[in-house]
Structure 1
């Protein structure tokens, strides 16, 4: 599918240890009997002694005793004197790997968190090393040189998804196994497997969505929660009006930097102008991919909206997006053709992986939120494409949607730290505050100029998390960073 494959798809998945006493384990401060000692190597080349573990859960907690899944994690032993409950990292996506995240730029933060307890890089069901399922490649394709209406485009994806559902059913895979509610049960099973009375949770983006669901379901088994770039339980689909408001905030931030303000004096005007031109007359490009044959690509308004949806998470990539818009506004097509040649492959089939598809469809959207979405999308800069293929595929699978009871904002007095980036183009400040309004003991720190991936934007962010984990009272509700150079 054009553009979405590399930018919008959620980049850039025996013995049943579910009952207390089902397995003899030692406390999390010492090796769990089934764990394997390893030398963990980060992408930076740094190494640390750790343990690799696995435990088995039902593929569906409503049908115990049938099929099972093997879930994996890496445990970094606590380094501090005061060892609290295990701290479980919940990756975003849905579809991100906690273990892979620990290898990346956040490795230093994983190590810093060891001051407070064992740190668990957890691969949620269907991700990384945890029973990852193969992607279904349908027979449906988006012809690169053909124009499609929004309705035709959505219908093709719906037909492809139905075909994949039929294939998964033949293979014995039930999409009802891949829901946030199932993953919450997995977290409680992980707690028991580690021999812990409680867990602390640390999640970002979809990981915060899972953490909020866990607060609702297992509050008495949680100690502390750190949330960043929060996605509420009824926020799988973001409001188009909030995306428009993001561009206003982006403009205000650009205006504080003269070198950027002179290049982009009117972000909204630029984007609307270019999108309107493509709506009136799509642009036929000749694309030459690296090591492949040249092909024609009809650049439509929808393609650019999807491209933008994948690039506005952080201010550094948003600036790259604006450069593409400015080039198109000036009649220069080489930059966008280069992007297509580098990342898009002609004639790719529409495909789906059961984990992210099931998680998003199950979390769904309330009817009230859907009505608001449809009203706002009509005039929004990015239309209804920020979270495509949601809500376009909403209610595709009967019985999968978890319902409005699941989507209620959690109510809790647990200590929670919330980190909000002002230039987050995926989860928005107002929506994040709304998502945690029922958490009476929540501390909110705004990270000015940070985007969606805010953890490593400043040592102050790490320091704020550390002070929260120590239980210290902090008045630090605002951190200013330079988000333009990347997270």
Structure 2
């Protein structure tokens, strides 16, 4: 989702400010490197480097001011002879360097994952210009949406246009036109040179995969190989509605066969419930009154376009999605209403997302396909409308079709993609694969919008083959398909009906 409401939710993701790891950093006019140690729960001490790379804010202007970009490096315990692995975070707007100091389970899990790369080579993590804990975090506040009116794409689009104009006014000392995908790619090349590497391998998921594809587009000579998951091609920043809906259908197939959900399913299963909801809300909006934690009553108006957003709620954890949809089907709207109240509040938006997205845009033929896609009736145009209409209000220049359209490249790439992914549908990889004659796709049944090793968590052999590929480039042990076990679906928090609702 690229709507302003979803961007505001993404901006709430936590980050940790990283303090200097050493009082005696190695410095130059473009890079600062500090030494650090982190102690693992096992008691083992791991050395790492953390630093700041200084780059032009606008690479098209020689006199542009310099901005800082955070990075970290964990050197391999023993030389492997392989290129270093540059780990590119997603988002846009995921700050990860707090991993070294954050004691949360999520941070500890990420650190454990990073350490496993040592078997393949050095690991270098680079943050994103405009959202980095060792530089600037460009954030603007999105306006609240009224509770007494149903949501609409048109209102969301006007809010995105207002946000763009406000961001420019509130940042007179910054050149926001410099936050384009080619600048993100050049930052990776600058860090490569500053650290003294010739070739590098890329590892990224979601926006990290799109960023990696940009590095391969603008600097192909520096990339030895890449592993990309939840793939987002340069022309696919906005999803095709029918591809998203196909992922929902695949989730629904297993949900329809789950014994715990069986008493709640109408004739026709999950898809019948969705069609019934669509018909119900086509007759007009509804008003739902709930009481907040303080006992105060709040009334929210929910309409057909709110339902479009709701259909994609909880799909990041598919085991929760059927219970949510079935609750709506049976008229249990309270949880949805509470979430809508939160979604409509004023909140921060990470600016690098719309800056990069509006600049990269989409080709005219793909825009036509998105607008005329049959699944628009169910999912609407939330995914792309606000960004496309507001593009002239953002200062980043249009990158052009020559950048957006894929090109044939000999770079070996392993694509890992789940068929339950509703954020970057699996069709993204299937459409891109013909342009990579040395590419290899691993299609993961029942995996969602996740990183490579989480998608392959039930296949140790596949995970090992990925490490071997990063180290040697060898692909013969890589599978083409992996299946995860069906999840234990959550059931609605009310007793099943004595007779299914028609």
Q: TM-score range, shorter-chain basis?
A: 0.7 to 0.9
Shift of 1:324: 2.1
Q: How much is the aligned-residue C-alpha RMSD, in angstroms?
A: 3.2
The residue aligned with 2:227 is: 226
Q: Is the 8 A contact 2:150 2:306 kept in 1?
A: no
Residue 72 of structure 1 aligns to a residue whose secondary structure is strand
- Provide the secondary structure at the position in 2 that maps to 1:40: strand
Aligned residue in 2 for 1:367? 364
Partner SS for 2:388: coil
CA contact 1:229–1:424 (8 Å) conserved in 2: yes
1:305 is the counterpart of 2:304: no
Question: For the Cα contact (< 8 Å) 1:52–1:75, is it kept in 2?
Answer: yes
Task: Name 1:114's counterpart in structure 2.
Answer: 118
Deviations 1:34-73 (Å, cap 9, x if unpaired)? 4212123689998632111111100011113320111111
Q: 1:382 aligns with which of 379, 383, 386?
A: 379
| Native 8 Å contact 2:87 2:124 kept in 1 | yes
- Which residue number in structure 2 is paired with residue 471 of structure 1? 473
The answer for the alignment partner of 1:285 in structure 2 is 288
| Aligned CA distance change for structure 1 residues 172 and 6 (closer, same or farther; 3 Å) | closer
User: Which of these residues, 69, 75, 78, is aligned with residue 77 of structure 1?
Assistant: 75
Work out the CA distance in 1 between the residues paired with 2:246 and 2:99. Answer: 30
| Cα offset, 1:186, TM superposition | 0.3
Paired positions, count: 462
Q: Which runs of 5+ in 2 are unaligned?
A: 16-25, 101-106, 490-502
Match of 2:415, SS?
strand
The answer on whether the counterparts of 2:85 and 2:122 sit within 8 Å (CA) in structure 1 is yes
- From the superposition, tell whether residues 236 and 483 of structure 1 become closer, same or farther in structure 2 (CA, over 3 Å): farther
Contact 2:93 2:350 in 1 (8 A): no
Q: How far apart, in 2, do the equivalents of 1:353 and 1:6 lie?
A: 8
The reply to whether residue 166 of structure 1 matches residue 163 of structure 2 is no
- Counterpart of 2:109 in structure 1 is 105
Shift of 1:234: 0.2
Question: In the alignment, what sits opposite 1:155?
Answer: 158
Q: Which moved more, 1:256-265 or 1:351-360?
A: 256-265
In 2, distance between residues paired with 1:7 and 1:485?
27
Aligned to 1:335: 335
Q: In the TM superposition, what is the alpha-carbon distance from 1:2 to its structure 2 partner?
A: 9.6
Is 2:401 aligned against 1:404? yes
1:433/1:43 CA distance change after superposition, 3 Å: farther
Cα distance 1:44–1:211, how it changes in 2: closer, same or farther (>3 A)? Answer: farther
Q: Please name the residue that 1:29 is paired with.
A: none
Q: Structure 1: which 5+ residue stretches go unaligned?
A: 14-22, 26-31
**Partners in 2 of 1:6 and 1:43 — Cα distance?**
35
Q: Deviations over 1:209-257 (max 9, x none)?
A: 0111111111111112110010001000110111122122222333454
Matched residue of 1:94: which SS? coil
Go from structure 1 to structure 2 and tell me whether the alpha carbon gap of 1:382 and 1:408 turns closer, same or farther (over 3 Å shift): same
Using the size of structure 1 for normalisation, the TM-score is 0.85
Q: Which residue of 2 aligns with 1:61?
A: 59
In the superposition, the TM-score normalised over structure 2's length comes to 0.82
- The residue aligned with 1:322 is 322
